[in-house]
A = this chain, B = another copy of it.
Amino acid sequence: MKHLIILMHCPDQKGIIASVTNLIHDNYGNIVYIDQYVDRVNDLFFMRLEVLFHFKTKSMDAFKEAFDQKINQVFQAKSNFYFKNKKPKMGVMVSKYDHCLYDILAQYNTGRLHCEIPLIISNHRDLEAIAKQFDIPYYHILITKESKHQAEKNQLELLKHHQVDFIVLARYMQIVSKEFISNYPFKIINIHHSFLPAFPGAKPYHMAYQRGVKIIGATSHYVTEELDSGPIIEQDVVNVSHLHSVENFIERGQDLERLVLLRALRLHIERKIMVYQNKTIIFN
């Protein structure tokens, strides 16, 4: 039995749903999840399906071909197919902060993150012990102003070698270059420790404290060229008051960060996110 996830989008038009569901039924598929979203401003149609098939891989190719002919070509659609039981490979990049890394590895170890983690890359040695504790290969690649370009080349080599599908920047604290990003478009997930677009860039907790806000937040987003401006996946907030110091902001915020990042990773891993026009559609 194959459990297929289909993500598709096309210009909005009549008959898409009927055509897709008819095609699936004709191929003996059983739709166990279907959800659509129509962007009425731009007249775009988005759909996510989960389908159970009871035949072999050969026929699977036949289905894909049929889908291409009868859906993609007819409706000018773009479609992606994923097998649910195939775990994506997640590369982890960290710097010195351990809270997100610990949460990711604990969830991973207890089977709550349905991915593989072939490696952790860091520009520092600080978190090597944690990697060891969870038995994950840890690569230390030093980054200096001069070595950055070469360092990224080395990182990419490692990531490619381990056949990484997507990357999490678990408080990586380094700006990644345009070239690096172009290797994993909408496949690099960052956690920013503010309620974006408030307080982008460095030291958001200090800026929030300075401004006297009554609520702080965390934002998980796909990394794009412009700093902290990629499509937002998940956000959450927590109350603060004048009683809290910057250190309290950080403590409260770090609990948020790890939750918000985890939720974003789960959504990505479960193929519940579609990106367009620098926004995300979350089928949840």
Contact = CB atoms under 8 A, between A and B. Distances in A.
A232 B217 CA distance: 16
Interface in A1-58: 14-15, 17-18, 21-22, 25, 30-38, 40-41
B198 A214 contact: no
Contact of A211 (B30, B197, B213, B263): B197
A180 to B, nearest CB: 23
B30 A282 contact: no
A187 B270 CA distance: 38
A112 B251 CA distance: 9
Give the interface SS of chain A, mostly helix, strand, loop or mixed: mixed
Given A98-B110, A103-B106, A112-B251, A215 B242 contact: no
Interface stretch (A138-146, A156-164, A233-241): A233-241
Interface of A: 14-15, 17-18, 21-22, 25, 30-38, 40-41, 98-99, 102-103, 106, 109-110, 112, 133-134, 195-199, 211-215, 217, 231-237, 239, 241-243, 245, 251, 255, 259, 262-263, 277-282, 284
